[in-house]
Amino acid sequence: MNVVGNYRIREGRVEDCSAIAYMINEASEDAVNYLLKDSKSDKSPITLLAEQLANEVHYSYANTLIAEIEQDLPMAMALSFPASGLILDESLLQNYSASKKQYLKYFCDNRINDSWHLDAIYVATKYRHLGLGQKLLGEVKQRARYYKFPTLQVFVFGSNKAAVQFYQRNDFIIDREIQVDAHEFLKHKHKLLRMRCEL
C-alpha cells in the first residue's frame, strides 16, 4: 500500500463500484448519465455502471486504483487497462441510439493498438492540488510498464484545458484531434484529443 501524506492508494474492491461509477461520471463530464439515462431499467445510471464495473473484465473495479483516507470514502481513483479491452460490446449496445453508439466509437476507433489505456482519473474537488492526481498517474504508468506496454494513452475533451495541461506536464503529447462538432453530447467539447505518453 502506497501512502501519499495521509492518503493511501490501494486496489479497487467490489464494494467500491458505486463510488467508482460516480467518479467516472464526474471525470467524463456526465457521460454516464448521457449514455445510460434512457435505459429500460428502473435503476439509476450510476447503479447500472456500478453493476457493470462489478462484472466486466477490463472496465472493472479490479483495474481501478483508489485513493482514500482511512475510514473515509474514496476521494480519488484511476481506471486503466490494456487498450485492447476498449471494444464495443454488441449486447450492451443493442438498446443504444445511433448517437450514443457513435460516442463510444470515437474512443474505440481511435485507440492506439498495443497501448495501456487510462480510461478515467478523478480527484474530488476538496482534495485537488495536493499531488494526488500526479501520484495516481505515476502508479498507472508503473502498472503499464509492469505489463510491458510501450505507450500510455488517454482521451481528453479539448474544452478541458486543466486536464490537457495536467497531462502535458506529465509527459503526454496530443497526437490526434478527433472532430466531434456534430455530436449531440460532445459538440460543446470542441474536440476529443487523444494524448499519449511513451513509456
CATH of the domain at 14: 3.40.630.30
**What pLDDT does 71 receive?**
64
Q: What is the pLDDT of residue 144?
A: 98
pLDDT of residue 116: 98
With both helix axes pointing from N to C terminus, report the angle between 17-27 and 45-55 in degrees, rounded to the nearest 10.
120
State residue 1's pLDDT score: 41
pLDDT in tens, the chain (199 residues): 444 567 789 999 999 999 999 999 999 999 999 999 887 788 999 999 999 999 999 999 999 999 987 666 788 999 999 999 998 877 667 778 899 999 999 999 999 999 999 999 999 998 888 889 999 999 999 999 999 999 999 999 999 999 999 999 999 999 999 999 999 999 999 899 999 999 9
Q: 117 with 21: CB under 8 angstroms?
A: no
pTM, two decimal places: 0.93
Amino acid 145: pLDDT: 98
Domain count, the chain: 1
Q: Which domain holds residue 168?
A: 2-198
Sign of CA pseudo-dihedral 151, 181, 124, 80: negative
Contacts of 136 (CB under 8 A, 6+ apart): 9, 65, 67, 76, 77, 78, 121, 123
- Bridge partner residues of 4 (DSSP): 7
Alpha helix locations (H) across 56-184?
90-93, 98-108, 132-146, 161-169
Determine the pLDDT at residue 3: 46
